[in-house]
Amino acid sequence: MSRKKQTHLRGERGQAFADKIRGISMEQILCVSLDIHKYFHVVIIHNALGEIVTPTFKIDIFQTGFEQLCQAVDEAIARTDAQVILTGMEPSSHYFENLARHLNERPQPVTLINSFSVKENRDQQMMLYEKDDEIDVAAIGDLLKRGEGSPFNPPQGIYLQLQHLARVRTSKVKMRTMLQNQIIGHLDRIFPGLVIVGKEAKKRCKPMFATDFWKCQTMQHLIRVCPNPHQLTAMSSQDLIDAFHAHGYAMGPVRAAQIITYAQRVLLPDRALVAVRCQLLPHDLALFEEVELHIAQMEADLCTLLAETPYQIWSKIKGLSDVQAADLAAAIGDPGNYRHAKQVFRRSGLVPGRNDSGTRQRKGKGSKIVKVGDVYLRRALMNAVATLILHQPILWAYYSKLKASKPAGVARVATARRAIGILWAIQRDQRSDTLILKKETLR
């Protein structure tokens, strides 16, 4: 298939910028460049020639700062008789979002300048080891007047809810993992050998129960009833049964004897240390349970929202859970913002770097992934592909073929590219002719 004819050196985005400024004097193209910070922002206003119209000034993050910025822009427009207004800023964490939204409503469309591009621009100016607010805002302005960056399209309505729920859920999952590690740290000191993690470790030391620690109901009850091996070794089976029953947990004589026997094998830790850790353990367990409940509620909310979008069909695909589908939908946003799947994949940053010149034309082979896109989209896509490969023969065959001659990471990224193309077509057509659906959806 022939490649689509390119009409501009920088492709469609470059052509759109050229059309926007065509026929307009460079002095009448006004650039408003902002370096975003947490508690203030640095602004410089200049024209497309790079000539400064309003010198660098700072605004605060409150209404007064926004009004100061608007007044400065309006005065600059009046002085220069500007016909085109370009506004650009770095997408610094979440600090840019509120100001960018208000500027979009003026209307004053905002362009987001990639932070890595700003760094590279400083390097081009021989400022590799020089960085301050004025240098940064000038670098942003230089990129803005050249048409670099991408338009700020904030999510609206249901996609706004999906995005924020998904991101908070991700942070809560990290919190849950941290708490799990902290709880295991307590137990390693209180009851050495109670938690044995990993296949190799389990080969060396036979655990009390074969079931995974976090899924073993008896173990979860034990660490809440009596995690102290000093106390367990002094108990009879009936004592332990009574202690479990007092908390409303089931316990039989065989399992009670097994626990006590295991505790008697332990090289008992210092009593004072055990006492301190046993005091801390219940607080972390309670916090862990609260985080678990919050995650479960957010996942239920995500699934409810997903059902109201075109992405809902993804939840019917075998190998893709409702939460994975919602996570991917939240990261992509409104499908109306894209014309084809290639744009989605490009935004993820999962694009190989290239270093081709002359007779050396490797087309990205052996180069690292650039990773300059949306980290949330990249993470959601790779997470989805990890399970889709296991359940979808067409993706597994493609991945296996690539893996035979390429590194696993390269094969996985290439499979992600193919997967997003298929998923996008399924979302667009609201049917799947390629991927297998879950059995319950076929009934």
Where helices occur in 247-374 by DSSP H, the ranges are 253-265, 271-306, 322-332, 341-348
DSSP assignment of 398-443, as one string?
Answer: HHHHHHTTS-HHHHHHHHHHHHHHHHHHHHHHTS-SSSPBPHHHH-
Q: Which of 225, 420, 239 is closest to 335 using CA atoms?
A: 420
Show pLDDT as tens, one digit a residue, over the chain (443 residues): 345 677 888 888 888 888 889 999 999 999 999 999 999 999 999 999 999 999 999 999 999 999 999 999 999 999 999 999 999 999 988 999 999 999 998 878 899 998 888 888 887 776 655 678 888 999 999 999 999 988 999 999 999 999 999 999 999 999 999 999 999 999 999 999 998 887 777 778 788 888 889 999 999 999 999 999 999 999 999 999 999 999 999 999 999 999 999 999 999 999 999 999 999 999 999 999 999 999 999 999 999 999 999 999 999 999 999 999 999 999 999 999 998 898 899 888 887 666 656 666 665 566 666 667 788 999 999 999 999 999 999 999 999 999 998 888 889 999 999 999 999 999 999 998 889 888 766 55
CA dist 297 and 381 (Å) reads 23
Q: How far apart are CA 363 and CA 211, in angstroms?
A: 48
Q: Please, are residues 124 and 139 in contact by the beta-carbon 8 Å criterion?
A: no
What letter represents residue 276's amino acid? Answer: V
Give the CA angle between residues 316, 319, 320 to the nearest 5°.
Answer: 55
**C-alpha closest to that of 33 among 162, 180, 146, 154:** 146
Rounded-to-integer distance, Cα 191 and Cα 251, Å:
20
